Amino acid sequence: MRKLVYLSALCVSVVLPAVSQTVVKGHHLGETVQEFLQADPNIQAQLASCHASEPKPITVEQARKMPDHKQAEKLAEQGKLFTADTRTTEELYYCYHLVGALENRQPVCTPVTQNACNIMVGAWEGAHEKAESLTFTPGPDVGDPRWSFTDGRLSSIYVEFHPGTFAEVETDLTKRIGMKPDEAAPAYSNAYGATWNNQVAVWLSPELFASLTENRNPTEQSLVLRMTTRSSYDAQAKAKQSAKSPLD
């Protein structure tokens, strides 16, 4: 077993990603939003649905036809008058992530969804201020990937698998990347006296960084794949090396 040395990296800073040829869940790191949508008709349909459900601004001309047209006209002039907002909080939350990641814009807020929307807009603005990637996941089930985009390109992939399938996933990913991983089995224990060894495999190629980790804790087992572009990994490693120690 080779010695394992790697950095944990999921959220990436703004970097110029290289295009990976390793396909996972139908996509590869570095592909553009347009390429991502072309390869995934289901996501295209979900994005179209988000647009269709968004409240549309009412124009001043339309407001003049309303019963209380004077007040309506003022709101329309201020950009505060919309068509009926029938979105649920869940729909708003999902579309916020989907539209934010793929189109890099914040959601449309209306009085009906103002409270929930303000929280999301704040998160969106915070992500931009920190130059973080924008992320969404198409579903809540095990195996549904979490896609992250930076500067309009797919910059990281996160997938949870059913525990117990480590060997199968590792073998498949090794074939896709074209190189063997570094492996480790670090030992752990808990306050109840239980001991176990996690299983870890790490790939570092010219195009990407990937880690597959199976947590074998008897009370919270999990199997997670994390992938980022190699340029993102290198930027993360450089930032860590230049970071000051608490004793500096």
pLDDT, tens digit, 9 for 90 and up, residues 186-207: 999 988 889 999 999 999 999 9
Q: State pLDDT tens for residues 121-151.
A: 555 455 444 445 677 777 667 778 999 888 8
Distance CA 190, CA 188 (A): 7
Residue 84: the pLDDT is 76
How many Å apart are CA 76 and CA 157, to the nearest integer? 41
Task: Flag whether pLDDT at 5 surpasses 50.
Answer: no
Q: Which residue has the higher pLDDT, 97 or 11?
A: 97
The DSSP bridge pattern shows strands 134-136 and 153-161 to be unpaired
Query: Is pLDDT above 90 for 22?
Result: yes
Q: What is the pLDDT of residue 59?
A: 86
The whole-number average pLDDT for the span 64-93 is: 80
Q: How confident is the model at residue 26 (pLDDT cuts 50, 70, 90)?
A: very high
Tell me the domain boundaries of the chain. Answer: 22-145, 162-248
Give 161-172 pLDDT, tens digit per residue: 999 999 999 999
Distance CA(72)–CA(62), nearest Å, equals 9
Higher pLDDT pick, 176 / 121 = 176
Evaluated on CA atoms 158, 163, 166, 167, the torsion sign reads: negative
Work out the mean pLDDT of the chain and round it to a whole number.
80
Tell me what percent of the residues of the chain surpass a pLDDT of 70.
79
Specify the higher pLDDT residue, 211 or 19: 211
The structure's pTM equals: 0.74
